[in-house]
Amino acid sequence: MRLRHYVLVTLFGLLALAGWLWLTMLSPYTYDRPAHLPEIEAGEHAVFVYGTLRFAPVRWVVMGRAGETETAVLEGFRRERLDLVEAPDERVLGELVVVDADELERLDRYERLGIRYQRVPMRLADGRMAWVYRRLDEAARPAEVNASD
């Protein structure tokens, strides 16, 4: 009887996790790309990741593949919670992943582009350019998001 209980609880937990992942990553209900954002250009895009997207399983869930990464450094910044803050003498260690336009759109959804984050081009320590997700200032965030935080 106890084993049956644990199996049911585990299955319910996995079902809840699958539902949350679908709602967050794939459903049409939790994110509408803001109309003011430019269209994503076709082709490859380099993205510097420094948080949860450094982990292959997270990238696999978000993009549909883990992707190959290489270590990358962004100079003049430090990580502060969920964002990067300018700090002239510091650096952020992260990963560089190359994605196609569809994968970039999935990353935008995951990061809630235009609602919580902005995607900006930045020069890495080795001179390459890459997209970097940075938190939007409170004043720049949509009013309905500010009210719910």
Predicted local confidence at residue 149, as pLDDT: 47
Could you tell me if residue 7 is inside a domain?
no
Residue 62 CB-density burial (10 A; 0-12 exposed, 13-18 middle, 19+ buried): buried
96, 46 contact by CB (below 8 A): yes
Residues in the chain, total: 149
32, 56 contact by CB (below 8 A): no
Domain count, the chain: 1
Helix, strand, or coil here: 83? strand
Q: How confident is the model at residue 147 (pLDDT cuts 50, 70, 90)?
A: very low
Predicted local confidence at residue 140, as pLDDT: 52
Predicted local confidence at residue 31, as pLDDT: 77
Could you tell me if residue 10 is inside a domain?
no
Predicted local confidence at residue 26, as pLDDT: 63
Could you tell me if residue 21 is inside a domain?
no
Could you tell me if residue 131 is inside a domain?
yes
Could you tell me if residue 104 is inside a domain?
yes
Q: With a cut of 50, say whether residue 148 has pLDDT above it.
A: no
Predicted local confidence at residue 129, as pLDDT: 98
Predicted local confidence at residue 96, as pLDDT: 98
Domain containing 69 — which CATH number?
A: 3.10.490.10
Could you tell me if residue 95 is inside a domain?
yes
Could you tell me if residue 67 is inside a domain?
yes
pLDDT digits 0-9 by tens, 78-121: 999 888 999 999 999 999 999 999 999 999 999 989 999 999 99
Could you tell me if residue 11 is inside a domain?
no
Helix, strand, or coil here: 30? coil
pLDDT digits 0-9 by tens, 13-71: 988 887 877 776 666 567 778 888 889 999 999 999 999 999 999 999 889 999 999 99
Tell me the residue range of the domain where 91 lies.
31-148
